[in-house]
Structure 1
Amino acid sequence: MGRINPAIPPNDPHTPRWLLDLEEWRIHPYTSIPAATLEAHGYGVVSYTWGYIVATPGQPAPNPPAGLLWDVPTVSAWPLSRAREVMQTIGTRYVWWDWMCVPQRGEGLRPLSRELEVVQAEEIGKQMHIYGNATKSIIWLHSTNWTTTPASAMQELLHLRLYYDEDTAPDPNTTPTSLQNHANHIAAQLALAHEQEHWTRSGWTLQEGVLLHETDLIDGRGARLTDLTSPGYFLGDHATVADLTIPVTRLAFELAIAYFMQSQGYEPDVGAP
């Protein structure tokens, strides 16, 4: 399909069509941004979920960035001005934010032209390249607040470690019981986090989380979760996606090994999980 609207840049299957300039609050074609700027500073991306907080279907958000060719919905949790502040925590001037860089449709919003419908599919189809080429990123957890008491289920998950990561290992004779209790605790925390934080429920954010393994987790206020103690988090002082995935993945791996050994008739090693 040839281009009809000259404001729509041609497609490159490996780069986004547009990036949002947070300083100017304007959408720019990717190709119009100086290559030296992108090479030196790159662009940022954000992963979040918003469908559950659409305030009034059909009500476009006020004060969108200049150059936007479609409407974005109003949400109840924050105005675009607040979202802009959170996006600035990424640390790059240019960001790929799906609302602003992928044509949006919705009840009562401005209908997309046939050309923009094609653009929407093309931009979604190259998400792996867009996320993979980003230099910085955040996961914005709208429903989470790191300062609540008691701590949220997400925060509890971030502090999980398998028992043999501790300085003092348990008595080997009690290891199977300890592992069972640990597995039960993780399952309960996962279920509670799934209930409390909408980001954990979306198929879109699941694939984004896989692509953004080292990304900082930002709560609804735009704050990072910091731990300056040793050992802190897996990748540094701030909680990242890795702090959610590594303990659970490791436990699943160890359980799979244990079940395999048992199925092959080996005696369990009580000194190992």
Structure 2
Amino acid sequence: MDASASAEPGLQAAVVIPVYNHEEAIGPTLARVLEYGYPVLLVDDGSSAACRDELIRLDRHYGDKVRLLRLEQNGGKGAAVKVGLRRLLELGYSHGIQIDADGQHDLADLPRFMAMGAQHPQALISGYPRYDASVPALRYYARYLTHVWVWINTLSFRIKDAMCGFRLYPLARVVRLLDEEPCGNRMDFDPEVLVRWCWRGLPVVNLPTRVHYPLDGVSHFKAVRDNALISLMHTRLFFGMLVRLPAMLRRRCHG
């Protein structure tokens, strides 16, 4: 796995997949990603023995196409993504594309994300879900609470969906952001990093993509813990927005 292997001209891009106890889904998901020729970094977020062993098997099976990074303790999806993005930058990649391990993302859209990244190399390309009938109704409607807060905290509708984990990051910019600002380690990571990205005046491109729920039926969203973390995140971001409000208004007036 090296940075010269990107399948999109102009990008040195690789895929990062955070994995926590998705031993049934990760094999088919990984096989589909590799069909498109992109190198993959698997980040094992302290999985159980069954998932750990499956990831080791996949790493050995695919050789140089796949790299495995194991975290000894579960730190959450956000923590795994952050470690993965930093590692890709260290390896010399310019861009990292984040996808989920459970097979919910339409991987046929990978070339579209990469092509859009080549057109807008300094932008964060954020997936905008188009759901099929498999989406749980409660999850579908509940996520709009987060959307409303994101729109308030950015004073804009630039972000069409803040929860989708299918996105392409310019690595130098996002790692700098992560080094300079706090972002959540669990399910609060995806919306928070987008809000903080927008606060910096950095470009976002929303790309429609189909989403199917999920291949193995395993969800690691903990209703009490993660809703509490997301609520605290929105509160923290709201007060951060108030501090930044004069600068944000000036930017809007001169934008």
**TM norm structure 2:** 0.29
The structure with more radius of gyration:
1
Higher relative contact order structure (alpha carbons within 8 Å, sequence separation ≥ 6): 2
Q: Which has the higher helix share?
A: 2
